[in-house]
Structure 1
Amino acid sequence: MKLKLLIVDDEPIICQGLKMTVPWDEFCVEVVGEAYDGEEALSILEETHVDIIITDVNMPVMDGLELAEKVAKRFQHIRMIIISGFDEFEYAKRAIRLGVSDYLLKPVDIDELMKLVKVIQKEMEKERDKASIFSMKQLLSSIVMGQEVDINVNLKDNNFSGYQFLCSEIDDYDSTISQVNEDDRKLLKQRWKSKISEELRIKGLMSVSLFLDENRLLTCCKVMNDLSDFAELFYEVVERVSNQLGFSLSGCYSSLGKETHDILKSYQLVTEGIEIVHCIPEKVYHAKTLPTHITDLEITRFEKCLSKMLSDEHPEIQKIIGDLFTHFEKNQMCLLNDVVNVLKKLEKKLFTNLPEYQYLRFSENVNITIYNSYKAIKCLFMKDIEDYIRFQSTTQGGQHWLIMKAVNYIKENYASDLKASEVANVINVSPNYFSQLIKQETGTHFNDYLHDVRLNQAKVLLKETPFRVFEIAEMVGYKDYKYFVHIFKKSTTITPTKYRKIVTDFNS
């Protein structure tokens, strides 16, 4: 950090001496001006940024102590060093009261002056770092909370290049951290956060971090002066932190953003980019563009296979689930959220007979920062399948499953000359026991239920197809046309022909 110095003395030769004889460049100090009284110094301060003032006490127009008093009120960041030819205690006491950094006697000892400048420089660096960290925390909080962002204070600094984001996760978090207790988990997250900050500071980057979720750390880096290779820098940081924690980390980093809209865009890209961490072979990658992903994952064939296998307690269920997840992995840039949503819908279709109290892992929100791999999601799904099969083995679940299997068979074969004994044979129970089950489940006898299924399908065909009534009768399982009309009218109070006319007129 290069400090800006103003020299104030009513004797030009002293001003020139302090400016020319001290190697200011070696101490990262730039002399930005000279003034010959306090009033002239204030005029310079109005137009020029100054960090340190070295001033004489006795000067015409406005002396050094009066200058110090005005500086303390209007330019509180400026540090002042007073030099004087008088060893007056009252001068020194008043100077200290005004917040002057030190009081040196003429002739000035250059070594003593430089030691003092070094001390001031370190103090000011600490203060600037502290203020910068505070403003970065406010910035990061505002971005995450969706509040208004203000970075104007940074744009005044010529060395400010912009902000950059790094989002990191622990790989396979569920299997890696599942055995760690809650207190140790908190300590791990604290270490993770502090180690990222330490490693970035070693690379010359000031940073602040916050957890967006259980296993997602967002870090905002303030870049002063351009750095050539961010890819290598972030890779080394993530790699070193991984080694220090003893857990494998992956990360996604953004481009540099200086203006507000660029910073917000970088934040958006990095938080969306980390969503595809399970698809990317690199441990650290750049969120250059929005990830492309598939939201409509076609799984109909897997759904049918699983439905059939669950009904038969088929031993190859694990293979089908394995094939299902291989299908997911083949869809490049498939977001885990998409996979979770697809599996939720699949469970609703497959587990139709589960009571509400039965716990399912996908009935709740699945945290994809914890279950951040296909392996972890697959494990969750497999546990739900196992719990479902276990429920089916109970008396309540088994009975319900038997009747659901029977109902599915009826819906698939209603057009044939279906008998109760045939359905009972399919589910391996006696015809009498089957009659009890279907009455208990549907509230109707087998023949009544079969009529309902056939007539509902007949209504669909009457409404949506041009087939004649006698053809529809045969299609839904009635060989006798007159008997079909009789049953239809008994159920609906109107004939099939009249039903068709009513629904056709209504639709037109």
Structure 2
Amino acid sequence: MNVLIVDDEYSIREGLRDMLKQFAISGIPIHQVETSIDGKHAMDVLHYYHFDLLITDVRMPGMDGLTLLEHVQSRFPKMKTIILSGFDDFAYVQQALRLGAVDYLLKPVNVTDLTKTIERISTGLNDNYNIHRSWKRFNELDAFKLLTVVDIDNPQESRALEFGDWQTLSWMLRKSSFEILQDMTGVYLIEEMESRMDSCNMICGFTGESPERAMEQFERFASTLFEFWKDRVRLSISIGVSRPYRHDHSEEAPYSEALTALLTRLYRGSCIQKYPEDEQAEMGSASFARLWQQLEASLDVGDIDRVIERLHDFVRESMKQGTPRQLMWSVERLMLDLNGRINQNALIPFSIEARHITQKVNQMQWSRSEEALQQQIGKWINDLLLSNDPEEQEGQIMLKAKKYIREHLGEMISLEEVSQHTYISRSHLSRLFRNRTGQTFLEYLTDLRIEESKKMLTEPGIKIYEVAEKLGYRDWKHFSRTFKNKTGYGPAEYRANLNISPLE
């Protein structure tokens, strides 16, 4: 049994955790115990890992226990729940029971009552637990095995948004998959894999007495799930699968293979794809060789902007005539090369282990579009440079951000847009603006637009609404208010004081 404890009091959380550990020692099947500080955090945890039992406080800041229970009932209907409270209020008891709680316990929790409740719940969960495995437990199974990754292709499309938030989509994916898997044997939901993108994807394992039998299991599951989402949900999903293997493997090998197969959707669209066994990994065409030489030359001279630019060209060329396996082999080779070069030239050498680079490549392969993949690659290069020389790299990022803003003043620029262009997170870029300019991003952008508008207002004949439109303001009245707030003059008054006629 896997248990999640939710309480905003540290002493309660840890006390319950200790009790449950004692239960495991005494023979009650407690396998995993995790904690959360409130309902919102608990929902995030629930979408990443499988739990059989939820123990939650009633009164917590943010999302309280009863609200959490409502979400759990709709999205995880088979999960058992216990409500805790320091208030002997029968109204809470009634509501908790209506929401499916199996028990309602008062604080401080009585060990005897908790033990009886846990024993009663565990009796009905033994069979259900068998479908879930950690990677380690799955890998140790004595059978032919293969690993499968499943992902919703575009959780942001209009049809997906009709279902509400991403948590609802995640619940739908897990529920539909679970209903297929529970009628099969030798199949598992794999928990705790690193580098997952978000909870709108899932990892499954299939076993059989032969490679063919394991593949039959996968094909039955994949075709049923794929058609269900296509015909009933009317959203596309993609599924990638590794080669079958028998003996213990490191996590990276079959997981990387399944993700490489999944990446095929960037080339072909929504698909079910097996890992290509006989495909050559290295790019073979003359155009790829030329791009690679240019990329290495950019590395030689330390021109990181050109490295990212050439890498974008490389990805685009791969989309035309390469394969996912060839692309990611080249990306991993580049990352190892760049890491080695930076480490060699660093004043204080540092090292990123090869397995961490492999994990980062795996994370990239969850990308749902070419643009997302390009962003992941660019961000990794920036992160690597920041870890080596943060002062120098942050200065370069700010120069690039300011240049981009100046070149796009006439557009509706956002912090998110500029952060994507500079390959750092939105929050990181926001901090850089505050630390290096003393202003927020919006304050810097506004001041830049006002200074540019002053120059434009010296041009005879230009209209105020034209100035506003050329500087990204869709409402000239808003521009006028902002101008006056910054300068103390309205745009017309400012120009009049310069003795410039708007009609000349």
TM-score (norm 1): 0.33
- When normalised by structure 2's length, the TM-score is 0.33
> Which of the two has higher C-alpha Rg?
1
